[in-house]
Amino acid sequence: MPRVVLASALSRWLPAYAAGAPREAAFDIDATDLHGLLDALFARHPNLRGYVLDEQGVVRHHVAIFVDGQAIRDKANLRQPLAASSEVYVMQALSGG
């Protein structure tokens, strides 16, 4: 099952992770593409959607998503397939300061 890891800068906005020291959050999610994985993640944590995507459904300018070590190429098209062993990292892009 693919795994998604949220950087601590992002996970600290999840109510369950707000207390204590900042730490990564990891979730195993049954999905066959990135769009499905993120949708399932946002269903579990509804406030997270607005942190990762803007209201037009595009990955925010200063958010980076890596799938199996490669940054996604098109922030507006998330229909990228995932393998059962895929690891997805969602993090703040360094361009954002």
Partner 1 sequence: MNSPSHLLVSTRKGLFVLTRGAHAWQVERTAFLGDKVTLTGVDRRDGSWYAALDLGHFGCKLHRSTDQGRSWTELAVPAYGPDDVVAVGDGKPDAPATLKLIWAFAHGGEGEPGRLWLGTLPGGLFRSDDHGASWRLMRGLWDRPERKEWFGGGYDTPGIHSICVDPRDARRLLIAVSTAGVWRTDDGGETWSICAKGMRAEYMPPERAYDEIAQDVHQMVQCAAAPEHLWVQHHNGIFRSTDGARSWQEIENVAPSVFGFAVAVHPTDPHRAWFVPAIKDQFRIPVDAQLVVTRTRDGGQTFDQLRHGLPQHHCYDLIYRHGLAIDATGERLAIGSTTGGLWISEDQGDTWAALDARLPPVHAVGWG
Residues in contact with partner 1 by CB under 8 A are 9-10, 13, 47, 50-52, 54-58, 60, 62-63, 92-93, 96-97
Rounding to the nearest 10 degrees, give the CA dihedral for residues 47, 49, 54, 58. 180
Query: Smallest distance from the beta carbon of 73 to partner 1, in angstroms?
Result: 19
30 and 79 Cβ atoms separated by less than 8 Å: no
Nearer to partner 1, 81 or 96 (CB): 96
Nearer to partner 1, 32 or 77 (CB): 77
Give the helix/strand (H/E) hosting 71: strand 70-71
Query: Smallest distance from the beta carbon of 56 to partner 1, in angstroms?
Result: 5
Bridge partners of 63, per DSSP, are 92
Query: Smallest distance from the beta carbon of 82 to partner 1, in angstroms?
Result: 23
A 10 A CB-CB count for 19 gives 7
